[in-house]
Structures are given as structure tokens and as C-alpha cells.
Amino acid sequence: MSSQAYELLERAIVERCQVLCFSQGHVREICPAILGHTDGQERTLAFQFAGSSSKGLLPGGQWKCLNVAEMSNVALRSGEWHGGASHRKRQECVKDVDIDVNPRSPYKPRRRLRR
């Protein structure tokens, strides 16, 4: 059974909603792109476009790998979808992908989005 935060992140991907949450001592504003599990842990690869981070946030935002269990006060909100620039390296954050915002995902998600 998935956690409540996991279900909200899944909804955010499907509906392309922004997510406001608290994680690892920081308020984060993110757009989750990939959701699934790594070694039994719920994980998301998300683009953080605002908020704070332990090493500071790059101008324009950056990709973050987050453990869903460490997220609290997860709330969805409407707003512009942020996805960052394209990348050349294969993501390693989520091993078993349940859902990917990319309808042509190369990660063989269990659930495919249609666009």
C-alpha cells in the first residue's frame, strides 16, 4: 500500500500540478517527474524550482532525488509545470518506475501517461 504522500505525488504527475512540501529540513517547491521505488523505498525524481536546499538552489532550479518517507506537509497546487533542461545521463534515483511524466519514458513504467 502506498503512502498518502506517494498518492499525492502520483496525482501531481498525472495532473501536472506543482507540489509544495517539507523535506530534509527544507521547504521545497517541486514538479515530480518520476515516481516509484528503490530497494523498497518510495522515491521521486523531481525538479525543484523554488524553496531551499542544503547546498542552495541553482538559478532556475535543479533535479532532486527525494525519499517520499522524508516528505511532510505535501500539498498540490496549480501553477506552471517546471521540468528543467534535457539531460544526457540516465536517471538512477528510481529503480522500479511506477509512473513517469514523459509519455515516451525509456524506464518501462508500470503506468503510462497518454498525451
Query: For 36-91, what is each residue's pLDDT tens digit?
Result: 999 999 999 999 999 999 989 999 999 999 999 999 999 999 999 998 766 667 89
CB-CB neighbours of 91 under 10 Å: 16
Residue 107 lies in a domain: no
**Does some domain include residue 57?**
yes
The helix/strand/coil state of 106 is coil
pTM score > 0.85 for this model?
A: yes
> What total of structural domains would you count in the chain?
1
Of the candidates 34, 45, 37, which has an alpha carbon nearest to the alpha carbon of residue 1?
37
Provide the mean pLDDT of the chain: 93
> Which range of residues forms the domain containing residue 40?
4-100
- For CA atoms 40, 13, 106, 108, give the dihedral sign: positive
Report the C-alpha dihedral over residues 69, 76, 81, 60, rounded to 10 degrees.
Answer: -60
Q: Is residue 109 part of a domain?
A: no
The predicted pLDDT at position 103 comes to 86
Residue 31 maps to a domain: yes
Is 45 a member of any domain? Answer: yes
β-pairing verdict for 96-100 and 41-51: unpaired
Task: State the pLDDT at residue 42.
Answer: 98
pLDDT tens-digit map of 17-38: 999 999 999 999 999 999 999 9
With respect to residue 111, please indicate whether it lies within any of the assigned structural domains. no
Q: Does a structural domain hold residue 27? A: yes
For residue 22, is it within any domain?
A: yes
